[in-house]
Amino acid sequence: MKKDPARKAEVTKLVAGRSKNIPMKLDPERWYQLGIEIVGDVLRVSLDGQVVGFLKSSGIAHPVKSDFYLAVSGKNALFDDVHIWSAELANAK
Instruction: Report the relative pairing of strands 50-56 and 42-47 from DSSP bridges.
Output: antiparallel
Among 59, 60, 64, 42, which residue's Cα sits nearest to residue 51?
A: 42
Is the pLDDT at 84 greater than 60, yes or no? yes
Domain segments of the chain: what residues?
Answer: 34-59
CA 68 distance to own-chain centroid: 8
> Using CA atoms, how far apart are residues 46 and 25, in angstroms rounded to an integer?
14
CA 34 distance to own-chain centroid: 11
> Over the stretch 6-57, which tens digit does the pLDDT of each residue have?
888 888 887 777 778 888 898 989 999 999 998 888 999 999 999 999 999 8
